[in-house]
Each structure stands twice: as C-alpha cells, then as structure tokens.
A and B are shown apart, each in its own frame.
Chain A
Amino acid sequence: MLAASATEPLRVPALVAENVSKAFVSGQQRTQVLDGLSLSLDAAELTLISGPSGCEKSTLLAILSGLQKVDGGRVMALGSELGQLDVRALERFRLQHTGFVFQGFNLFPALSAFEQVELPLNHMGLSRNEARARAQSSLEEVGLAHRMRLRPSELSGGEKQRVAIARALAKKPELLFADEPTSALDAANGQMIIDILHRIARTHGTTVLCVSHDPRLVVHADRVLAMEDGRILSDWRTQAPVFDSKESSS
C-alpha cells in the first residue's frame, strides 16, 4: 500500500499488477505474451489500454480482472491478491466488486432490458425491491428509462451496449472492465458508450479499465496506455491530472 503524503488526499491504487508474466502453450510451442509487466490504476479514472490487435491487451485485461491466472508476478485488486483466491472466492470477488462490458453485448434474447440488469443483482443477496430500484436507476443513468421493457431484438446496437453497461453498473462495482466496448458500433454510438464509461468513473469513483484498438477513444480517456507486443510503450494523461500519479509504468 502506498502512503499518502500530508498535502495529498489519500490515494491508494485500486488495481496493481506487479511483474506479471503469462505464456500460452500450444503443443510444443510456448509463447511468452506478457513478461514482467507492472502497472497500477487509480480509482475514479477511465484508463484506456490501446494498441493494435494481437498486442495481448485483452490478455492483460483478463489477468487484471481475475479471469485468468498469471504464471508469475501478482495482481492486487482492492487489496486482495487475486492469485491467492480459489475459483469460488474469485466468483465471490467478482460478484461483489467487478463489472464487465464485452465487445458482444451478450444479452439473453428472452429477457427485457430491465430483467438483464436485474438478473445478476438477484444473486448478490439484495432484496427484490432493492434489486429493482438499482436496475431502474442504472438504466436511467445510461438513458434507457423509456426502453427498459424491450428485448434485445427490439434494441439498436448502441442501446444493447448501454444495457450491458447498466447491467455492470447496477452492481455498484469498484472495478469496471470493458473489452472493445465500441468496436461493434458506429462512431456516434461508440462515442456515447465511452462517454458513459467516463462519466461512471467520475461520478461513482469507479476504476474503469477499457481495452480498445479504436484510436478515436483516446481523447475520452483520463489516461492512455499504449501497448504493443505485450509491453506498455507509453503512458500519458489526456487532461491535467488532478493528483500526482504514483503509478509506475513498465
């Protein structure tokens, strides 16, 4: 944990990767995709990992979100070391702390927008009323209050992705991961999605990590990590940082 100095507000990184390495084995072939990568992400920011396809940015996202195990190094999320958690504990951690938005919207065709958002909340131990209130406010927040009785087949691509965001947002996660959330959308819808993600980071204090190869998103992020061949090449902020950053880059 990093200590805050007297002049700065308390600032603990929400997500830290230390010296992370990962290799994939296919037959006799062993490919090292991440090698000693370290980074640290702060809350209330939208961090964009950008880079060409094949640069292993999705692998990094899977590792940082606990969906994949590291071969070496460690990932600390909200003070927990993900590598120490078993499958059940990881599920519990994800249930309580993380939201996901994927490139495909992955909505159940049979459920209305409202039910898509309510469904994961049912498993969080919330009361029925609490779950419904949260689903309602999340859908309002992504601007779908008037469309929430519709099924995916009646929604546009942009609307579907907003439902997917509402589904993640209603859990009130501290960590929100988005993998290529705009690549299936046109420019206007893509911009709307990235704006919503940005606003979530700012208003809810959520750590939002977005992976994309789409260069148009760069201007909407607080911080941009450019990645290539499993390494982070550059790390910059698009706006004047509010606080001094303490994160390290590889």
Chain B
Amino acid sequence: MVALARKTLIYEWRRFLPAMLAVGFAGLLQLLQLALVLGIFGSTSLYITGSSADVWVGYPGTQSVGSGRTIDADVESRVLMDPAVLRVEPYIWVDGDWRGKTETGGISVFVSGIDPSPEGLMFSKALPPSLRARLAEPDAVVVDRSVLTQLGVDIGQTATINGHQVRVVGISSGLRALGGVNVLCSLDTARGLDDVPADNGPTYLVAKLRDPRQADAVAKRLRGSTAFGPYTTWSARDFARRSVRYWLFDTGAGAGVLFLAGIVFLVGAVITSQTLIAAVNGSVREYATLNALGVGVAALRRVVLEQAFWVGALGLLGAGVLGIVLMVLARSQDVPVVLTLPAVLVCIILVMGLAAVSGLAAMRSLHRADPATLLR
C-alpha cells in the first residue's frame, strides 16, 4: 500500500507545519494549565496529602482545611476508644498576621501547630525529621523556601506572628499555600500565637488506623456522637477532595480554568482544521483523479483522517518534549506544578480529539474532489 498520507505529510511538511504547531501549542497549554491547577489547588490539600493520618476529625460543615473551627479536646478520648485507631494527635490551625525583619506590610500566614515528635502524623511526608525535631524548641517555626523574600526573614532570624515573637529555625520546600503563607510550629507554640480566647481546643484531631483501608468505615463509625460537642469525621481522602473541590468550584477558579481550556481547544481546532482544509484543497485535483479512477470517497477520507492523526501525534510529541523541559524549569523555580498519569492521559485525549475534529472538518472539503470538475 502506498502510504499517501504519510509521504505527503513528509514531502509537504511546510504546508502541515502550522497545524502541527497549533496542535502542539494547544497541547502544551492544556498540559501546563493542568499541571498548574493540580499544583496550585493540590496545595490546598497539602495538609492532608502531606500527612500520614487516615481519619480527620473537625468541626461539622468545614469546607476546606483552612476554614476549620475548634472542637472539644475531649473528642480525642472518644476517638482513641475505637479499637481500629492506632494514634491520635491534635492539629491546630491559626490565622496569623506576620511581621518580618524588613518592612513587608501585613502578611497573612496559616500557622500549623503540629506534634513535633518523630512519630507525629502531621506533615510526616512533607517535613524532614531533622526539621521536625527543631520545632520542639519554644517559638520555633519552619517556613517554605519560596516565601523567604515575601516574609522578609532568613534562617535564624526572628519575626512576630499576632504580636508574639517567633524564630525561623528551618526552611522547607513544597509547603506553598494558596492565598497565604504556611508557617509550621509545635502545638505549644501555636497555642501561644492564638489570640482568640474562645479557641480552647484543637482545630482538628487526626488519627492513624491499624488498617488504613478501613478509613471510610471508621470515619463513619466515629460520626454522630454529640456528647463532646459538635464534631464530624472524614477519611483523609474525602477531606482532601473536599478541600480541592472547594477551591476549584466554590471559588470560581475552576470555572476560569475550564473556560480557558475550552478557548485553547477551540483556537487549536480552528487553526488545525483550516490548515488541513487548505492541504486537502491543494491536492483536490489529485484526489478527484483518484476518484475518477474508481478509488472510493471513503478511502480518500481515510487519507485525510490519517494525516490529521499524524499531525496530532507529531504535535503531541513536540508538546511532550517542550512540556517536560518547562516542567523541569518550573520545578527549579518552585512553581507549583504537578502532573499525574490521568492528567497526562486527559491531555493526550484532548489533543488527539482536537486533531480528530479538525480531520473531520477537513474531510468535508473532499466533496470538492468531484472528478467531473476536471473535465472543463
């Protein structure tokens, strides 16, 4: 079989280049946008995904980790009574106002008061053990590398949160937050920073189970008791989803992202289909001759679709290479980008879908390949 589609693509690559570029850049934009969304909004569940707790206990109706209220500290004993529970520890969230060494204006910080012991659950995956141990010192805090300039401090220097003095004892990475700055400290330090007199319990209790697979069942079992005041429970996975969903959909950010994705798809499809249509029109007399010789329209359509497929595949390849380079660059600059296999698959499907839509549009212009028009 003579590979007409491929040979034409190679020989007339200049003609197809705009389509490949359009597909490639559309793919790249989708990929990076998705990576940024996953990175930025994924950071809203960092408190959950970066910790090894299986079940979270918090105030009923809490929509994201950052919007919790205090619960009764005695709930801890209720949770510990469950035989499936291995360990429970409190987690205190304090909204603070940061003042650094240099004048920076008001900076809103999210103070996370955690158990600094080596077996502590909170941020066990995000915080190296040596840094964690240093938090045991009074008034010690750890901040993310990317926010040092913003906070106007460096390691070893002091600052104030809500008017209380703290000292930066360590710098971590991967602790970026959305809409503020994460500051990690011990539970004791956090209690000292909290100015609201009504807050006398932890914001959350986090529990580790003997068998993490039972998280949903245990969370359900622990719910519903009112003996210790209002509280509810989630499995870690549910609570992480809840947080991401809140940011994606309830803040309108997700709608913006989807809108942009739609625009990118549309622009890519318009350019790609126009290029493919021009390519079909450029060969319309040859296609008509083949049809005169009895080669069916269906076979000619397959040629156009195959060209669209190769345009998509080559565009994807270019987007992939550029995407990897840009991702590495972004990571090195502490830009929060995260790519998962499903996200990559979504991008591949979007790009190939774009190529397919364009191919179908181009196929329609084959109706001009009427051999009777050659006899004039």
CB-defined contacts of A95 to chain B, threshold 8 Å: 293-296
The interface-forming segment of B4-12, B26-34, B36-44, B337-345 is B4-12
Kindly state whether residue A249 has any CB partner on chain B within 8 Å.
no
Which size bracket describes the interface of B in this complex? 20 to 34
Kindly state whether residue B162 has any CB partner on chain A within 8 Å.
no
- Please tell me if the beta carbons of B2 and A94 are within 8 angstroms of each other in the complex: no
Tally the A-B contacts, defined by beta carbons under 8 Å.
93
Kindly state whether residue B160 has any CB partner on chain A within 8 Å.
no
- Please tell me if the beta carbons of A123 and B372 are within 8 angstroms of each other in the complex: no
Residue of A whose beta carbon sits closest to that of B284: A106
Most buried by A among B10, B299, B375: B375
Kindly state whether residue A226 has any CB partner on chain B within 8 Å.
no
CB-defined contacts of B7 to chain A, threshold 8 Å: 108, 110-111, 115
- Please tell me if the beta carbons of B374 and A122 are within 8 angstroms of each other in the complex: no
Task: Give chain A interface residues in 88-106, CB to chain B under 8 Å.
Answer: 88, 91-96, 98-100, 102, 104, 106
Residue of B whose beta carbon sits closest to that of A102: B374
Kindly state whether residue A120 has any CB partner on chain B within 8 Å.
yes
Kindly state whether residue A171 has any CB partner on chain B within 8 Å.
yes
- Please tell me if the beta carbons of A108 and B294 are within 8 angstroms of each other in the complex: no
Task: Give chain B interface residues in 276-293, CB to chain A under 8 Å.
Answer: 283, 285-286, 288-293
- Please tell me if the beta carbons of B372 and A68 are within 8 angstroms of each other in the complex: yes
Given the known interface contacts A108-B286, A109-B11, A110-B8, the answer about A167 and B293 at a Cβ–Cβ threshold of 8 Å is: yes
Kindly state whether residue B376 has any CB partner on chain A within 8 Å.
yes
Kindly state whether residue A159 has any CB partner on chain B within 8 Å.
no
Kindly state whether residue A168 has any CB partner on chain B within 8 Å.
yes
Kindly state whether residue A42 has any CB partner on chain B within 8 Å.
no
Of the residues A58, A91, A92, A115, contact of B375 by C-beta under 8 Å = A58
CB-defined contacts of A119 to chain B, threshold 8 Å: 2, 4, 290, 295
Kindly state whether residue B198 has any CB partner on chain A within 8 Å.
no
Apart from A91-B297, A98-B292, A106-B374, list 20 A-B contacts with CB within 8 A: A58-B375, A58-B376, A67-B292, A67-B375, A94-B292, A95-B293, A102-B285, A104-B374, A106-B288, A108-B286, A110-B10, A111-B2, A115-B2, A115-B7, A118-B2, A122-B2, A123-B296, A123-B299, A171-B294, A179-B375
Give the B-binding residues of A (Cβ under 8 A).
58-59, 61-62, 65, 67-68, 88, 91-96, 98-100, 102, 104, 106-111, 115, 118-120, 122-124, 128, 151, 167-168, 171, 179
A-B contact pairs, 21 of them (CB 8 A): A58-B375, A59-B375, A68-B372, A91-B295, A95-B295, A98-B293, A106-B285, A106-B286, A106-B289, A108-B4, A108-B283, A109-B8, A110-B7, A110-B11, A118-B2, A120-B290, A122-B1, A123-B296, A123-B299, A168-B293, A179-B375
